[in-house]
Each structure stands twice: as structure tokens, then as C-alpha cells.
């Protein structure tokens, strides 16, 4: 990303708002915003293989592995406002396991771009399924969307929940139920 160009565009945007980009409080704002967007959209510029960094290990385990309450921060592609919340990931190993921190890194890889929660949930699940050739994967996300809280309908307490279940998590209700219980959720 060309941060100098983005800073220039932010300076122009400040002028469009009716602000003076030369006033003391805004002098460095364009550069700070450019750096923030560079970080918040870093998923576009990362290599997933480097993110995983060969942290796929042989294992005899074929039990369910769950990481829950992974913090998620992303930008809604419709308004470029943040949405944030928690991501719960589970998978059943099939001779391969993934280093636990890599679950969060995969989630961040896809979250750090313009997103919709539905697609983000699915991308995380599909990537984990692919990387470890899992028997099954489940991902549940619960997020608050500032595009819904700060503008539009202005609903402060709404939480959007999405799930993606693949393989045995999709085909076997008992597996899906075990995952939901492990992340502290109940099935309707």
C-alpha cells in the first residue's frame, strides 16, 4: 500500500469534511490514518504460507481441538467501519494438527481486509480444513458492527452470529453439538 498516497487522500477528505488539515490537532492525522489502514488491511499483503510458517505437525490425535474467544477486528466492506467480536474455532484432526497460535493468525489473515462476517466465517473454516485436511471444522463468530451501532438503525446491543461447519461438523449432529457445548453455546 502506498501510505503517502493514502495520507494525501485523507488530507483531501478532511478538507471535504470542512476541516483544516493544517490545524495543530490534524497535522499528522493523514499519516496516522494511512498507517492504521495499512495495518487494518494487512491481510491483502500477507502470504498465508508465511503466516502458517510450517506449523502443521504430524499427530496421532483425532480428537476435537477447540480454540474459543479469539478476538476479531475487521472492517465492513459496505461502510468501512469496524466490526469486532469473538471467533470460536474447532476441528477434528486427521493425522495433522496446527500450532494453536496459527488458528488466531489465520483468522486475522482473513479479518484484516474489507469483509462481511458471513464470508469471513467461511474463509476461516475452509482454510483450516484445507491446511490440516481435517475430518471436520466448525467456526462460530459473534460480532458487533459499528455500521449498525453508530449509523443506520443505531442498535447498540445487537450481536450478529455466523457459523460455518464442514465435514463431520456438518454431517454429524453429535459432533456439531459437542463443538457448540465446548464453546459454551447451545443448539436451538
- Phi, psi of 99, deg, nearest 5: -50, 135
pLDDT value of position 15: 98
Average pLDDT of each block of 10 consecutive residues along the chain (188 residues)?
97 98 97 98 96 93 93 97 98 94 98 98 98 97 96 93 98 96 78
Please check whether residues 93 and 174 belong to one and the same domain: yes
Please check whether residues 26 and 101 belong to one and the same domain: no
Please check whether residues 113 and 36 belong to one and the same domain: no
Task: Give the C-alpha separation, 13 to 177, whole Å.
Answer: 49
Please check whether residues 27 and 68 belong to one and the same domain: no
pLDDT value of position 187: 55
Please check whether residues 178 and 104 belong to one and the same domain: yes
- Phi, psi of 126, deg, nearest 5: -65, -40
pLDDT value of position 185: 78
Please check whether residues 109 and 25 belong to one and the same domain: no
SS (H, E, C) 96-159: EEECHHHHHHHHHHHHCCEECHHHHHHHHHHHHHHHHCCCEEEEEEEEEEHHHHCCCCCCCCCC
Backbone angle region of 35, left / alpha / beta, with phi > 0 → left and psi within -120 to 50 → alpha: alpha
- In a domain, residue 104? The reply is yes
pLDDT value of position 25: 96
pTM over 0.75: yes
Task: Give the C-alpha separation, 146 to 19, whole Å.
Answer: 23
Amino acid at each position: 500500500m502506498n501510505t503517502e498516497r493514502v495520507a494525501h487522500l485523507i488530507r483531501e477528505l478532511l478538507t471535504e469534511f470542512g476541516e483544516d488539515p493544517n490545524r495543530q490537532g490534524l497535522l499528522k492525522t493523514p499519516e496516522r490514518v494511512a498507517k492504521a489502514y495499512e495495518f487494518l488491511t494487512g491481510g491483502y499483503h500477507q502470504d498465508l504460507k508465511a503466516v502458517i510458517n510450517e506449523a502443521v505437525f504430524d499427530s496421532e490425535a483425532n480428537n476435537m481441538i477447540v480454540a474459543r474467544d479469539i478476538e476479531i477486528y475487521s472492517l465492513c466492506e459496505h461502510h468501512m467501519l469496524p466490526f469486532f467480536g469473538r471467533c470460536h474455532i474447532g476441528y477434528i484432526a486427521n493425522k495433522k494438527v496446527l500450532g494453536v497460535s496459527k488458528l488466531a493468525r489465520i483468522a486475522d489473515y482473513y479479518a484484516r481486509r474489507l469483509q462481511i462476517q458471513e464470508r469471513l466465517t467461511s474463509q476461516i473454516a475452509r482454510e483450516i480444513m484445507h491446511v490440516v485436511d481435517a475430518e471436520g471444522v466448525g467456526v462460530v463468530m459473534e460480532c458487533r458492527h459499528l455500521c449498525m451501532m453508530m449509523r443506520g438503525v443505531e442498535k447498540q446491543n445487537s450481536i450478529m452470529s455466523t457459523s460455518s461447519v464442514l465435514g463431520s461438523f456438518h454431517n454429524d449432529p453429535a459432533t456439531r453439538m459437542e463443538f457448540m457445548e465446548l464453546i459454551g453455546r447451545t443448539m436451538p
